[in-house]
Chain A
Amino acid sequence: MFKLTINQTAHAVDVPEDMPLLWVLRDEIGLKGTKFGCGVAQCGACTVLLDGQPIRSCVTPVGAVGAGRITTVEGLTATPAGRAVRAAWESVDVAQCGYCQAGQMLAATALITATPKPTDADIDQAMDGNFCRCATYKRIRAAIKTAAGVSPVDHRGDAA
Chain B
Amino acid sequence: MSLSRRELVLSLGATAAGAMVLSFGLRTQAAAGGGAALGNYVTLAPDGAVTLLARNPDMGQGAKSLLPMLIAEELDVDWDRVRVEFAPADAKRFESQYAGGSLATPDNWEPMRRVGAAARAVLVAAAATRLKVDPAILTTAHGRVIHAASGRSLAYGDLAAEAARLPLPDPKTLKLKDPKDFTILGRSHIGVDTPAILAGEPIFGIDMVLPGMRHAVYVKSPVYGAKLVSADLAAARSMPGVEQVFAVEGIAPPAGAQIGLAPGIAPGIAIVARNWWQANAARKALNAVWDDGFGAAHDSEVYDRRAAELLKTPGEVQRAKGDVDAALTSAHRRLEAVYEAPFLAHLTLEPQNCTVSPTAAGLEIWAPTQFPNDGRDAVAKTLGLPLEAVTVHMRRCGGGFGRRIMNDFMVEAAVIAHRAKVPVKLLWTRTDDIGHDYYRPGTYQRLTAGLDAAGRVTAYDTHAVSFSRDGKLVDGGEIDLDAAPGHLAESSRLRRSLIPTIASTGWLRAPASNALSFIHESFWDELAHAAGQDPIAFRLAHLRARLGTPVAPPTEEGEPQYDVRRMIPVLELVRQRSGWGTAPLPAGVGLGVAAYFSHRGYFAEVAKVRVAPSGDWKVEKVWVVGDVGGIILNPTTAHAQVEGAVTDGIGHMLTAIRFEKGRAAQANLNDLTLMRMSAAPEVDVHFHLTDNPPTGLGEPALPPVIPAVANAVFAACGARVRTLPMTAERIQAARADGVKAA
Q: Which residues of A contact B (CB under 8 A)?
A: 16, 19-20, 23, 27-28, 30-40, 42-43, 45, 72-74, 76, 86, 89-90, 93, 95-102, 105, 123-125, 127-141, 156-158, 160
Contact = CB atoms under 8 A, between A and B. Distances in A.
A93 B651 CA distance: 22
A21 to B, nearest CB: 11
A97 B60 contact: yes
Contacts of A43: 349, 669
Interface in B647-678: 647-648, 651, 668-670, 674-678
Contact of B640 (A34, A96, A123, A127): A96
A41 B108 CA distance: 40
Contacts of B739: none
B732 to A, nearest CB: 24
Given A86-B198, A156-B188, A134 B648 contact: yes
Contact of B651 (A28, A105, A135): A135
Given A93-B636, A95-B191, 7 more contacts: A35-B398, A37-B349, A42-B668, A97-B399, A133-B401, A134-B644, A157-B640
A131 B195 contact: no
19 contacts: A33-B202, A35-B349, A37-B669, A39-B668, A73-B199, A74-B199, A95-B60, A97-B398, A99-B204, A105-B198, A123-B677, A124-B677, A128-B678, A131-B675, A133-B648, A134-B648, A135-B644, A138-B680, A160-B635
B683 A138 contact: yes
Given A27-B276, A42-B668, A156-B639, A97 B188 contact: no
Nearest to B190: A93
Interface string B425-466: 001011000000000000000000000000000000000000
Contacts of A37: 349-351, 430, 669
B198 A35 contact: no
A54 B92 CA distance: 48
Nearest to A136: B644
Interface in B480-525: none
Interface in B182-235: 187-188, 190-191, 193-195, 197-202, 204, 206-207, 209, 215
Nearest to B433: A38
Top 7 nearest A-B pairs (CB, nearest first) are A33-B200, A157-B639, A97-B60, A99-B398, A137-B680, A73-B200, A96-B60
Contacts of B201: 32-33
Given A33-B199, A128-B678, A160-B685, A135 B648 contact: yes
B93 interface: no
Contacts of B638: 157
B190 A137 contact: no
Contacts of A97: 59-60, 349-350, 396-400
A99 B193 CA distance: 12
A76 B599 CA distance: 39
A35 B350 contact: yes
Nearest to B646: A135
Nearest to A23: B277
Contacts, number: 188
A39 B648 contact: no
B374 interface: no
Interface residues of B, number: 68
A112 B347 CA distance: 29
Interface of B: 59-62, 187-188, 190-191, 193-195, 197-202, 204, 206-207, 209, 215, 240, 275-277, 347-351, 396-401, 427, 429-430, 635-641, 643-644, 646-648, 651, 668-670, 674-678, 680-683, 685-687
Contacts of A137: 647, 675-677, 680
Contacts of B202: 32-33
Given A39-B429, A90-B195, A98-B194, A34 B647 contact: no
A90 B677 contact: no
B700 to A, nearest CB: 16
Which among B651, B674, B681, B686 has the greatest number of chain A C-beta atoms within 10 A?
B674
Contacts of B348: 133
Nearest to B635: A157
B678 A36 contact: no
B273 to A, nearest CB: 10
Nearest to A45: B349
B668 A139 contact: no
B640 A136 contact: yes
B198 A90 contact: yes
Contacts of B681: 138
Given A16-B240, A95-B197, A100 B349 contact: yes
Nearest to A130: B677
A99 B398 CA distance: 5
Contacts of B427: 36
A148 to B, nearest CB: 15
B349 A32 contact: no
B595 to A, nearest CB: 20
A156 B197 contact: no
B63 to A, nearest CB: 12
Nearest to A156: B636
A131 B640 CA distance: 17
A105 B427 CA distance: 25
A35 B398 CA distance: 10
Contacts of A90: 190, 194-195, 198
A154 to B, nearest CB: 9
A87 B234 CA distance: 52
A125 to B, nearest CB: 8
A135 B427 CA distance: 24
